Amino acid sequence: MGAVVVLVDHRDPRWRGSAAPLLALAHELGGRQGWSVDAVWVGPGHDEEVATWVASTGPVVQHVVQVDGADPQLPASLGCALRAVADDAAARLVLVPSTFEGREVAGQLAALTGSGVVVGASSVVVEDGLVVAGKAVLAGSWRTRCAVTSPLAVVALDVHAAAAASPATPPGTGEAEVRRHRVQAPAAASAVQVLVRAARPVTERPSLAEAEVVVVGGRGTGGDFSGVEDLADALGGAVGATRVATDEGWAPHALQVGQTGVTISPRLYVGAGVSGAVHHRGGMAASATVVAVNTDPDAPIFEVADVAVVADVRTLLPALAAEVRSRRHRSG
């Protein structure tokens, strides 16, 4: 016996987006290992709608954890809540989404329990009784597989990779036992005061970390992002930017893709006037299909591009957006 425990990360108003793929993967893995699938909701807000939705994704148990004495969204609170559930469920594996915040929760939980942790994972399997996580490292230039030898494994999983591995949402029974827990927050979490927590403005476009299509503009746009935005809208995708473009103020910092920005792994990445510096590649190397548009035939990004387009973005982007729209129009 054993269990795979999945954090339903609801700091994000679009929490289903990260929970669904992790639960689907947990279901598949759990089914093969004979492990139960346990979903965890930390803090308030576990209403009937949440309960019904979570139950429909196939877990056996839904754990709802109330954290006393601290803000439930702090990594230390989440770490201690997950620890309590992992104990209760006799968990072999805890899955969290591999956002910056998810990695912190993974770090807390692993340190508290002395467990092995892998973050930024793109796959999880069980081999010879051990949890084995796959991931791309060094700006995507190497692939590694890493086994966890402790009784509990903590894995922060790339949500897109999980979605690609288990695309179908498992048919849930629609009934999952709800188990409620109360844990006392550690002193280090109780000491933290949340002075302000304001939602960032939401745009019409899909969020960068979750979008299936991302169009990234770099220095080669010369500061005019209208072509990037136009193509993103034509493809129903998000806009991203290189550090140069955000430093220049052509795009907000929140749109920076790369190792010090957002890590993305969309189905389609379009790099427009992006050189493909190693710092940037670190954040987009997991994209499924890479299209790069650059005037320089030797641009490093072409080394990782499935489609290399030697062209000037200023003319290509508007023309491409128009072509995409006309095809969608015809087919739709």
Partner 1 sequence: MVALVKHVPDVQSARSFTAEHRLVRGGPDDSLNELDEDCLEAALHLVEATPTSSGQDDDESGDGARPTRTHRVTALTVGPPAAVGALRRALAMGATDAVHVSDEAVAGSDAVATARVVAAAVDHLHAQHPVDLVLAGMAALDGLGSLVPSAVAALLGWPQLTLADRVQVEPGSPGSPGGAVTVRRTTAHHVEELRAPLPAVVSVTDQAFRPRSPSLKGLLAARRTPVDVIGLADLGLAASTAGAAGSTTRVLDVQPRPELADQVRLVAGQDGRDVAAELADLLVERGF
Ligand X SMILES: Cc1cc2nc3c(=O)[nH]c(=O)nc-3n(C[C@H](O)[C@H](O)[C@H](O)COP(=O)(O)OP(=O)(O)OC[C@H]3O[C@@H](n4cnc5c(N)ncnc54)[C@H](O)[C@@H]3O)c2cc1C
Binding segment toward ligand X, per CB under 6 A, in 58-66, 128-136, 157-165, 288-296: 288-296
**CB nearer ligand X, residue 70 or residue 313:** 313
Locus of tokens 């196939």: 58
3-state secondary structure of 300: helix
Would you give the end-to-end CA distance of the chain in angstroms? 49
How many of the other CB atoms lie within 10 Å of CB of 31?
A: 12
Nearer to partner 1, 144 or 226 (CB): 144
Minimum separation from the CB atom of position 225 to ligand X (A): 12
Answer with the entry of ligand X, partner 1, none that 96 interacts with (C-beta below 5 to 8 A by kind).
none
Report the residue number, 206 or 240, with the smaller CB distance to ligand X.
240
Angle at 252 between CA 198 and CA 238, to 5 degrees: 95
Concatenated DSSP letters of 145-192: EEEE-SSSEEEEE-HHHHHHHS-SPP---S--EEEEEEEEPPHHHHT-
Contact partner at residue 226 from partner 1, ligand X, none, CB < 5 to 8 Å by partner kind? none
Instruction: Give residue number: closest CB to ligand X.
Output: 258
Among 68, 177, 312, 323, binds ligand X (CB under 6 A): 312
- Supply the minimum distance, in Å, between the C-beta of residue 232 and ligand X: 16
| Binds 275: which of ligand X, partner 1, none (CB < 5-8 Å by kind) | ligand X
Q: β-strand 268-272 against 289-294: which pairing, if any?
A: parallel
Closest to partner 1 by CB, 61 or 320: 320
Cα separation, 5 vs 12, in Å, equals 19
218 binds, among ligand X, partner 1, none (CB under 5 to 8 A by kind): ligand X
Long-range contacts of 52-57 (CB under 8 A, 24+ apart): 52/174, 53/16, 54/8, 54/19, 54/23, 54/176, 55/172, 55/173, 55/174, 55/175, 55/176, 56/169, 56/172, 56/174, 57/19, 57/20, 57/23, 57/24, 57/27, 57/169, 57/170, 57/172
Instruction: Output the smallest distance, CB 172 to partner 1, in A.
Output: 26
- Shortest Å, Cβ 140 to partner 1: 6
Alpha carbon distance 115, 219 (integer Å)? 43
Smallest separation (angstroms) from ligand X to the CB of 245: 6
Contact between 299 and ligand X by CB under 6 A: the answer reads yes
Residues 236-275: x where in contact with ligand X by CB under 6 A, - otherwise, as a string: ------xxxx----------xxxxxx-----------xxx
Task: Classify residue 219 by its DSSP letter.
Answer: G
Window 103 to 132, contacts with ligand X (CB under 6 A): none
Nearest residue (CB) to ligand X, 130 versus 278? 278
Cβ neighbours for 75, distance < 8 A, ≥ 6 positions apart:
101, 104, 105, 107, 108
Neighbouring residues of 268: CB distance < 8 A, sequence distance ≥ 6: 212, 213, 214, 235, 237, 287, 288, 289, 291
When asked if residue 220 is in the footprint of ligand X (CB under 6 A), the reply is yes
Of the listed pieces 81-89, 92-100, 115-123, 212-220, which binds ligand X according to CB under 6 A? 212-220
- Kindly tell me which of 164 and 192 has the beta carbon lying closer to partner 1: 192
Min dist CB 301 to ligand X, Å, is 7
The reply to whether 62 sits near ligand X by the rule CB under 6 A is no
Q: Which of ligand X, partner 1, none sits in contact with 104, Cβ below 5 to 8 A by type?
A: partner 1
Residues near ligand X, by CB under 6 A: 218-220, 242-245, 256-261, 273-275, 277, 279-280, 283, 293-296, 299, 312-314
